[in-house]
Amino acid sequence: WRQCTEARFQALTLASLSLDARSLRLCPARGGAIVSTDRGGLRVAAGVPALALSGRLGDTPIRLTSGAVGLAWPGSLVARQIAVELGDRTDPNRFTIAALDAKLGREAVGTFTGADAKLAAVPLDILNAGGTWRFANGQLALGEGAFRLEDRQLDDRFRPLVARDATLTLVDNRIAALAALREPRSDRVITEASIVHDLGSGRGHADLPVRDLRFDQQLQPDTLTYLALGVIANAEGTLRGGGRVDWTPDQVTSTGNFTTDKFDFAAEFGPVEGVSGTVAFTDLIGLVTAPDQRLKIASINPGIEVFDGQLSFQMEPDGVLVVNGAEWPFVDGELFLLPTRMKLGAVDERRFTLKVVGADAAQFVQQLDMSNIAAKGVFDGELPLVFDENGGRIENGLLTSRAPGGNVSYIGALTYKDMGAMANFAFQSLRSLDFKRMEIGLGGELDGDIFTQVRIDGVTQGEGARRNFITRQVGRLPIRFNINIRAPFQRMLNSFRSLYDPGAVRDPRALGLIDAQGRPIQQPAPPAPLPPDIQPPDSRKVP
């Protein structure tokens, strides 16, 4: 056979592979023959420009196509652009190999590159795989495997993972594989996947143990899933547990349980520390949990730190996070996060509402480290928080004192001794105020200015204030205080403090307002004026 020739076969069987009747056009190497003999024995060398074969691998239908294939026996095998389909034509398992090389003898050994594997039942693809292979005694073994694992969905739930030194065996129509899946940038092992698949039945499973996976500067939740973007950042802590994926030709199911003893992170509404508990997934691939998952939270700081809370939530299909609610003890009262829903991974407006119930004013000012201020009273209210692509803000927050009211007083020593007689007199007269009702309205940008409106009704002198004829006459009048503050959130807290604590007012020289000789320093142009309705009309001089 010194020229190309047609070779036909009625059936061709190799181990568990049986091919249907087909004809192949075989061509010899240039200047040679397909079959030759010499002192070394019988030799076969032929090339095929392309393959188009079909048959069965065990009980599974198989279809195989390729580009050029070259065979020399004994010697080597070279194949390019191999494509294999296993199973029903409507939804097959697909395998492609860009290049396959082998040395042929008593056994076949070689390498492969550019391989992709896409199981119909599992929405995760193995891409750009390469490694070594060996076929002997009816068993195919792959070793030194390297590949990339990707989510097949258009909107990926998981970022790609990589593997190296993976192994796979195929014997008696059964695949068994083991691979350590790593996050590419940190090279940290996320899980050690153990996979079993039966080609005959189309059934299989994957065990995915997670052993003390650490999150730190090198590895963050959003490097594993896009759904964490804008939700969790600066994570610190470890996670353990595992998942399992089971599949048949008709469906895929997946479950998982993951536990942390201490997990810290930054959320939209502030830093969160000491999260602990277990989360159970009923659909691990779809990131769906069982209802009412509960986590303990050691502390959270949306501006005022609270401790020892508990969160109830669940994940629903399509990346929807349902917060059933959260609660914390809060200065002898309670702080609640009201129920809300949000779509993870989407640039949508997100709304949270913090509800304050029975907050004790005395403990509140202590928590703010206002050591020179004392307060009495109990407050309730709500702080609606809104987050979108422009940042976070408070919308129409309101805290209201309970009847019969309370007191705010300055209990420290007077810092500035040279305020003048009238200023000193006014301060001593107003250092303690009783009120029947106080309302604190909050609004504005969390990373910018917060507008605070304090309305105090039924104001009278409290215990410790200096009384005289004038104050007794004024005390008979119905007095209302309306105070407006515009400042960044933390500066706003200091503004409350400075109302009663002169020591909280910084020296103007330290602020760069005057020089050492007391002369004003030229300041840059002021910002645009505030809207005219910032100071309400009822702040005019009225009783």
Per-residue pLDDT, 453: 79
User: Residue written as tokens 């050691």?
Assistant: 298
Share of the chain above pLDDT 90, in %: 43
**What pLDDT, on a 0 to 100 scale, did the predictor assign at position 348?**
76
Domain boundaries, the chain: 1-106, 120-319, 349-543
pLDDT at 199: 78
What is residue 310's predicted lDDT score, i.e. its pLDDT? 95
pLDDT of the residue at 514: 56
The total number of residues shown for the chain amounts to 543
Check residue 226 and give its pLDDT. Answer: 86
Identify which of 283-287, 384-388, 488-492, 509-513 has the greatest average pLDDT: 283-287
pLDDT at residue 534, as a whole number: 38
Q: Which residue has the higher pLDDT, 420 or 529?
A: 420
Contacts 24+ apart (CB under 8 A), 124-133: 124/149, 124/150, 124/151, 124/152, 124/158, 124/285, 125/149, 125/150, 125/151, 125/152, 131/166, 133/100, 133/102, 133/109
Q: How confident is the model at residue 407 (pLDDT cuts 50, 70, 90)?
A: confident
Residue 120 pLDDT level (bands cut at 50, 70, 90): confident
pTM given for the model: 0.75
Provide the token pair at 27.
């061509």
Q: How many CA atoms lie within 13 A of 455 on its CB side?
A: 11
Q: Enumerate the β-bridge partners of residue 376.
A: 407
What residues have CB less than 8 Å from 331, skipping those under 6 apart? 359, 360, 363, 364, 367
Task: Assign 3-class secondary structure to 443-480.
Answer: EEECCCEEEEEEEEECCEECCCCCCCHHHHHHCCCCCE
Residue 530 pLDDT exceeds 60: no
Spatial CB neighbours of 111, under 8 Å, sequence gap ≥ 6 = 100, 101, 130, 131, 132, 133
Q: What are phi and psi of 173, to 5 degrees?
A: 70, 20
Compute the 3-state secondary structure of the chain and give helix, strand, coil in percent, each to the nearest 5.
Answer: 10, 60, 30
E strand or H helix at 298: strand 293-300
Q: Is 494 helix (H, G, I), strand (E, B) or coil?
A: helix
Task: Determine phi and psi for 29, rounding to 5 degrees.
Answer: -65, 155
Nearest one of 460, 454, 464, 455 to 477, comparing CA atoms: 460
Q: How far, CA to CA in Å, does 501 sit from each of 266, 414, 498, 541?
A: 32, 8, 5, 25
CA torsion angle for 283, 288, 293, 299 (degrees, to 10)? 120
pLDDT for 524 = 47
Cis ω on the peptide bond leading into residue 508 (within 30° of 0)?
no
Mean pLDDT of 9-13: 90
Taken in order 510, 515, 516, 519, the sign of the CA dihedral is: negative
Q: DSSP code of 529?
A: P
Q: Identify the pLDDT of residue 527.
A: 41
Look at residues 298, 389, 302, 372 and name the one whose alpha carbon lies nearest to residue 337. Answer: 302
